[in-house]
Chain A
Amino acid sequence: MIVETRDLTRCYQLGSSRITAVNEANLQIAEGSIVSIVGPSGSGKTTLLNLIGLNDEPTSGEVYFKERKTSTISDKERREIRLRDIGFIFQTFNLLPTLTALENVELPMALLGTPQRTQRIQAIECLGSVGLAERLEHKPRELSNGEMQRVAIARALANNPTLILADEPTGELDSETGREIIELLLRLSTEKATTVIVATHDERVAEVSKAKLAIRDGEIKT
């Protein structure tokens, strides 16, 4: 298993009320699988993805990453796992606005200490594989939403991660572009044998994944 959660719970305090965003979630995701987490807005998809991606800490329960209990590891190790093993794709792309498409893709490699020449070659290759070979030097504001999401996919794949977490990757795109993006994501992850977990409320996205988990009010229903 690449990811396993045991009784994973995340609660937030909102004023005087306590919100349970994820409630005792138990998941087992095998390496190389493509899983979609489907649920309406506010059902806990993003929170679950953040917990799996080590961006957030659970109130109770455990996340195991590659059989390793993540609650006992240091902040530095969590960052290291995020950098080496996990690629993130966000609904709003979250590209750094001052960097070009090429530099945004180079960034995770630069953080990992990859030599500059190698960064450049691999980034060009990644952007070529998402169909943006002609848009290397464009800044995010000069790209369309679909192009920005392609850059985000290239960035997520830059360090050859074992797991890709995509949070509503088609949320900001029209249906045609959304379909293209999902196809691209699935094709690349299959080629690289990468595990993909996609959080979405779009049933069409869920249909193309190999496994589907439904989430409602923070509870997972298989």
Chain B
Amino acid sequence: MRITVMCFRNLLRRRLRTTLCIFGISLATVFIVAIGATTSHYTNVIRDMNIFFAGKIVAVPEGAMVVQGFPVVGGNIPENIVEELSQVEGVSTAVPMLVRFGYQIETVVQLAPSNITVGVPYGNWSTLVGRIPLESGGKWPSVNDEVVLGQSIARQYGLEVGATFRAKDVNLTVSGILDSRSALLLRSIIVPLDMARELHYPNLEVNWIGNMVVVTFDPGLSEEQVAEKIRTEVLGIEALTTDLRNEIVEPLLSDIETWNSGITTVLYALSMVLITLVAMINISERRRDFATLDAIGAPKQTIFRIVVTEIMVMGLIGCIIGVVVGSFSAILFASLYTEIPLSLFLAHISEIVSPWLIIRVLVSTVAVAGVAGMIPAVAATRVNIAAELRSEY
């Protein structure tokens, strides 16, 4: 007879209570996974933004709200500023770009951006995407109405190389699809800069060229040195080095992670209280069983192990259910607030709900269950045999 068999039988015997306890643990795990996956996905997207221009300076209008390398809200940059930037001593190239996050699909405004349009001058594609290739058959735009799409957008709208579609009354042809799993590039629409201006400033006569400029500089100079020169020589422009961009976004990421940790801690604490309460009720109803075990000489650690094993098994089952439901909830929420079809998220679920998050939640939940089981387990070892096994009352 194995002691673990006894544990399983005990759980099955009190099915309703076991189910309720597992349900409670599952519910907490659902929230932990759903919130954890969503926040970690978006913090990863934000971190992902900075790998694009690492080692380069990003120049944006003063006062623009920048998340890593990309201006989210803020002014525009006229052509003459790009010229001024390229003439600053030590600057090698100044590539203007126009970045627009799409929060609206048709007339519906989304909570999170569902796409990002980036206008890049011809021949400067690598400034944005580095060495990321296109899927076979694709090429970078050579005329103004050609566009390169991220995989996710292309799949969502069933667009392949050569396909045409209409955006803001302009006909565009897909010349290539990016072969990248970068969260940002998956949803990107890369167009020639002139087309981006036509799409986003159709009626403006002012000579805006973009809303950011990516600056490279001569070897031997540091980012900080060149950025300082830009700030001094080009008025109305903020020059952001890689470190500065990280510094700007770090408090935001830190806040997100603090909230996430706080919510997770509260949920674990609630789970622990729930597990302890259910287990204490369970123990009080089985005092006679524990007294019998005690009377026949079961070592204290065996009784302790029985209780903790039962609770950890409930924790594990609850956690597995919670992880599955939580993962599905995370991608369901993501799909709902970005209007990106669920199937696209399902195909790459591990990018939103990372295996590391799943392992962390599994280990933490079982550990929490184990800790929550300590008090009931100690209570079970301290049952008064003489009082519990008396047949006369």
A-B contact count (CB 8 A): 88
Question: Is A84 in the interface zone, CB < 8 Å from B?
Answer: yes
Contact of B1 among A94, A95, A97, A119 (CB under 8 A): A119
Q: List the B residue with the shortest CB-CB distance to A55.
A: B385
Question: Is A180 in the interface zone, CB < 8 Å from B?
Answer: no
Chain A nearest CB from B208 CB (Å) reads: 76
Q: List the B residue with the shortest CB-CB distance to A108.
A: B296
Contact of A79 among B288, B289, B292, B299 (CB under 8 A): B299
Residue contact A98 to B6, C-beta cutoff 8 Å: yes
Q: A84-B297, A155-B296 are in contact. Are A110 and B1 (CB under 8 A)?
A: yes
A163-180, CB under 8 A of B: which get 1 and which 0? 000011001000000000
A98 to B8, CA, bound (A): 9
Residue contact B298 to A97, C-beta cutoff 8 Å: no
Contacts of B390 in A (CB 8 A): 46
Q: Is chain B's binding surface mostly helix, strand, loop or mixed?
A: helix
A168 to B389, CA, bound (A): 12
Residue contact A81 to B386, C-beta cutoff 8 Å: no
In residues 347-393 of chain B, which contact A (Cβ within 8 Å)? 385-386, 389-392
Q: List the B residue with the shortest CB-CB distance to A105.
A: B1
Question: Is B43 in the interface zone, CB < 8 Å from A?
Answer: no
Contacts of A107 in B (CB 8 A): 1, 293, 296
Instruction: Say which one of A30-38, A61-69, A85-93, A126-134 lies at the interface with B.
Output: A85-93
Question: Is B72 in the interface zone, CB < 8 Å from A?
Answer: no
Contacts of B299 in A (CB 8 A): 76, 79, 111
Residue contact B289 to A96, C-beta cutoff 8 Å: yes
Q: A81-B297, A99-B9, A111-B299 are in contact. Are A92 and B385 (CB under 8 A)?
A: no
Contact of A108 among B12, B291, B297 (CB under 8 A): B297
Question: Is A83 in the interface zone, CB < 8 Å from B?
Answer: yes
Residue contact B6 to A53, C-beta cutoff 8 Å: no
Chain B nearest CB from A168 CB (Å) reads: 6
Residue contact B13 to A98, C-beta cutoff 8 Å: yes
Residue contact A90 to B300, C-beta cutoff 8 Å: no
B1-33, CB under 8 A of A: which get 1 and which 0? 111011001101100000000000000000000
Q: List the A residue with the shortest CB-CB distance to B390.
A: A46
Q: Which of A41, A98, A168 has the most CB of B within 10 A?
A: A98
Q: List the A residue with the shortest CB-CB distance to B5.
A: A103
Question: Is B254 in the interface zone, CB < 8 Å from A?
Answer: no
Q: List the A residue with the shortest CB-CB distance to B302.
A: A111
Residue contact A111 to B296, C-beta cutoff 8 Å: yes
Contact of B300 among A41, A56, A79 (CB under 8 A): A79
Q: A41-B392, A94-B292 are in contact. Are A50 and B297 (CB under 8 A)?
A: no
A47 to B24, CA, bound (A): 43
Q: A88-B295, A171-B391 are in contact. Are A97 and B385 (CB under 8 A)?
A: no
Residue contact B9 to A56, C-beta cutoff 8 Å: no
Question: Is A142 in the interface zone, CB < 8 Å from B?
Answer: no
Question: Is A82 in the interface zone, CB < 8 Å from B?
Answer: yes
Contacts of A55 in B (CB 8 A): 294-295, 385-386, 389
Q: List the A residue with the shortest CB-CB distance to B381.
A: A75
Residue contact B386 to A99, C-beta cutoff 8 Å: no
Question: Is A203 in the interface zone, CB < 8 Å from B?
Answer: no
Question: Is A80 in the interface zone, CB < 8 Å from B?
Answer: yes
A79 to B294, CA, bound (A): 8
Residue contact A98 to B296, C-beta cutoff 8 Å: no
Q: List the B residue with the shortest CB-CB distance to A85.
A: B297
A103 to B2, CA, bound (A): 9
In residues 289-324 of chain B, which contact A (Cβ within 8 Å)? 289, 291-300, 302
Contacts of B302 in A (CB 8 A): 111
Contacts of A79 in B (CB 8 A): 294, 297-300
Residue contact B391 to A110, C-beta cutoff 8 Å: no
Residue contact B288 to A46, C-beta cutoff 8 Å: no
Residue contact B385 to A56, C-beta cutoff 8 Å: yes
A111 to B292, CA, bound (A): 13
Q: List the B residue with the shortest CB-CB distance to A168.
A: B391
In residues 264-296 of chain B, which contact A (Cβ within 8 Å)? 288-289, 291-296
29 of the cross-chain contacts (CB-CB < 8 Å) are A41-B392, A42-B392, A46-B390, A46-B391, A50-B385, A53-B295, A55-B386, A56-B386, A76-B300, A82-B295, A82-B297, A83-B298, A90-B389, A90-B391, A94-B288, A95-B292, A97-B289, A98-B6, A98-B10, A98-B12, A99-B1, A99-B9, A103-B1, A103-B6, A106-B1, A111-B299, A111-B302, A155-B296, A168-B391
- Residues of A whose CB lies within 8 Å of any CB of B are 41-42, 46-47, 50, 53, 55-56, 75-76, 79-84, 86, 88, 90-92, 94-99, 103, 106-111, 116, 119, 155, 167-168, 171
Q: What would 20 more interface pairs be, CB under 8 Å, given A42-B392, A79-B299, A107-B296?
A: A56-B386, A76-B300, A79-B297, A79-B300, A81-B297, A82-B295, A86-B297, A88-B295, A88-B296, A90-B391, A94-B291, A94-B295, A96-B292, A97-B13, A98-B9, A98-B10, A99-B6, A110-B1, A111-B299, A167-B391
- Residues of B whose CB lies within 8 Å of any CB of A are 1-3, 5-6, 9-10, 12-13, 288-289, 291-300, 302, 385-386, 389-392
7 closest residue pairs by CB, A with B:
A83-B297, A82-B297, A98-B9, A106-B1, A91-B391, A56-B386, A94-B292
